[in-house]
């Protein structure tokens, strides 16, 4: 009896710590010419860990078969899953109806969820193998370990064109502000000034509903982490309500045809806050939607995974400051252009009437005009920022006419910060445009 008891205990221990038994889905269509991301559920993995996954062209056993040795056929190795793309999590295997019963996440969950992201380099290697006459399908193999023992299980990857029969997944997301400086992801905003429009260029596989919301992280809010920023479909069912929520700006729900690219319109600029000085973040939150090609059976229910991705959603950042602080910062960063001088001309009807003029600098509150002539006293004047010219007194005109002279203009903010400065310009007695020279 004692021996029988020991045998039973060993069998129970083995069953608990060495337990992976299947994966779902067992086979998926993937993009043969680019990146693909697919949500997988490895079932019955209680007590096991997995730190490695790779692709190969052939395996020695059928897909979805557990084996204690590496099933990859020698010479058909395509690549290893980079750590930067690894998105895995133990799962309790709960469904929506179970979430009210248990909301804690245990490290020894009965399932193991994995977002398989196939890099373009692996897809290219698989395509080269197929072009050489080998099978067009290849395999994703994940390794599990427990108490010194090892198990492997594989998923079939069938190459396709990335269209409607491929799981709906996001392969690239680029949100940006629409400004004159291109497509920046960082913006410096004046307090109370209307924010620029926001757009997001998105590349994807498959077809389906892109559903989610734009949220704003206000000054003082806790920072979002990687868990908060991945699409909802990347997470096991019981973890999908645990991401931090921030202030809602606007929701979106659009259908994406199997074309592979789209531009998502951002929230109404009127809704984007800009009154409180400080740092802000605009977050694109992607919710899970129904997608038959991406469904994964957890063993107790089906997990819907439309909108999965192999990366966290990029954030837009902006900082709200006073007008003067914004202008000074832009000037220091070289984002503001210098003043372009126009010319200094004499009135053809009155040869003693001189006017200095320049192109208006929009943000200027005051201008300072400097004039220097050889053998004469230098002269400067302050001019209201609402005008872009200056008519000097007669003695300045006489001084400029008497000898070679130079002049320049500086723009200042309301606090006296210098915003822009022109180069010195030479004035000569001829007043034709060809004689106006920059120095």
- pLDDT tens-digit readout, 119-161: 999 999 999 999 999 999 999 999 999 888 999 999 999 999 9
Separation of alpha carbons 359 and 257, rounded Å: 49
- The burial class, CB within 10 Å (0-12 / 13-18 / 19+), for 95 is middle
Q: Quick one: pLDDT at residue 337?
A: 63
For the segment 253-260, the average pLDDT, to the nearest whole number, is 96
**Structural domains in the chain?**
2-160 (2.60.40), 169-321 (2.60.40.3880), 341-438 (2.60.40.10)
Q: Does pLDDT of 1 surpass 90?
A: no
Instruction: Write the pLDDT tens digit of every residue in 354-390.
Output: 888 888 887 789 999 998 888 777 889 999 999 989 9
Q: Does pLDDT of 262 surpass 60?
A: yes
Instruction: Write the pLDDT tens digit of every residue in 409-437.
Output: 988 888 787 878 888 888 755 443 333 33
Q: Quick one: pLDDT at residue 231?
A: 97
Convert 361-393 to b/e letters by CB count within 10 Å (16 or more is b): bebbbebebbbbbeebeebeeebebeebebebe
Phi and psi of 142, rounded to 5°? -115, 140
- The burial class, CB within 10 Å (0-12 / 13-18 / 19+), for 70 is middle
Specify whether the backbone of 316 is left (phi greater than 0), alpha (psi in -120 to 50) or beta: beta
pTM for the full predicted model:
0.73
For the segment 209-230, the average pLDDT, to the nearest whole number, is 96
Phi and psi of 330, rounded to 5°? -65, -35
Separation of alpha carbons 291 and 282, rounded Å: 27
To the nearest whole number, what is the mean pLDDT of the chain?
Answer: 85
Separation of alpha carbons 338 and 280, rounded Å: 29
Residue 276 is classified by DSSP as: S
pLDDT bin (cut points 50, 70, 90) of residue 57 is very high
Q: Does pLDDT of 228 surpass 60?
A: yes
Which pair of structure tokens corresponds to residue 24? 């779902």
Separation of alpha carbons 351 and 325, rounded Å: 43
Separation of alpha carbons 97 and 11, rounded Å: 33
What are the residues whose beta carbons fall under 8 Å from the beta carbon of 324, sequence distance 6 or more?
A: 413, 414, 415, 417
């Amino acid at each position: 009896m004692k021996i029988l008891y020991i045998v039973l205990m060993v069998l129970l221990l083995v069953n608990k710590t060495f337990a992976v038994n299947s994966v779902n889905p067992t086979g998926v269509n993937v993009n043969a010419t680019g990146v693909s991301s697919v949500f997988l559920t490895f079932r019955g993995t209680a007590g096991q860990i997995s730190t490695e996954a790779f692709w190969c062209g052939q395996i020695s056993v059928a897909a979805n078969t557990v084996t204690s040795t590496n099933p990859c056929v020698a010479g058909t190795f395509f690549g290893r899953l980079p750590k930067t793309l690894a998105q895995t999590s133990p799962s309790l295997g709960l469904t929506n109806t179970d979430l009210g019963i248990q909301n804690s996440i245990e490290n020894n969950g009965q399932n193991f969820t994995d977002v398989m992201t196939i890099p373009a380099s692996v897809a290219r290697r698989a395509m080269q193998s197929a072009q050489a006459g080998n099978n067009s399908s290849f395999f994703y193999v994940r390794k599990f370990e427990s108490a010194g023992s090892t198990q492997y299980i594989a998923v079939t990857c069938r190459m396709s064109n990335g269209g409607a029969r491929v799981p709906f997944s996001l392969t690239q997301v680029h949100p940006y502000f629409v400004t004159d400086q291109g497509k920046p992801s960082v913006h410096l905003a004046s307090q109370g000034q209307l924010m620029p429009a926001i757009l997001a260029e998105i590349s994807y596989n498959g077809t389906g509903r892109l559903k989610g919301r734009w949220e704003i992280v206000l000054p003082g809010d806790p920072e979002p982490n990687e868990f908060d920023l991945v699409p909802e479909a990347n997470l096991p069912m019981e973890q999908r309500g645990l991401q931090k929520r921030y202030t809602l700006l606007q929701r979106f729900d659009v259908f994406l045809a199997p074309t592979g690219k789209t531009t998502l319109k951002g929230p109404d600029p009127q809704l984007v806050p800009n009154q409180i000085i400080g740092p802000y973040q605009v977050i694109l939150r992607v919710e899970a939607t129904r997608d038959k090609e991406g469904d994964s059976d957890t063993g107790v229910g089906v997990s819907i995974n439309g909108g999965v991705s192999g990366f966290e959603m990029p954030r837009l950042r902006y900082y709200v400051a006073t007008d003067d602080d914004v202008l000074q910062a832009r000037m220091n960063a070289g984002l503001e252009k210098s003043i372009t001088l126009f010319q200094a001309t004499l009135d053809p009807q009155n040869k003693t009437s001189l006017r200095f003029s320049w192109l208006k600098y929009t943000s200027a509150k005051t201008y300072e005009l400097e004039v220097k002539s050889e053998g004469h006293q230098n002269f400067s004047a302050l001019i209201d920022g609402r005008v872009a010219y200056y008519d000097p007194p007669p003695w300045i005109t006489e001084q400029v006419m008497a000898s070679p002279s130079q002049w320049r203009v500086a723009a200042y903010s309301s606090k006296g910060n210098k915003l822009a400065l022109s180069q010195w310009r030479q004035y000569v007695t001829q007043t034709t445009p060809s004689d106006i020279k920059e120095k």
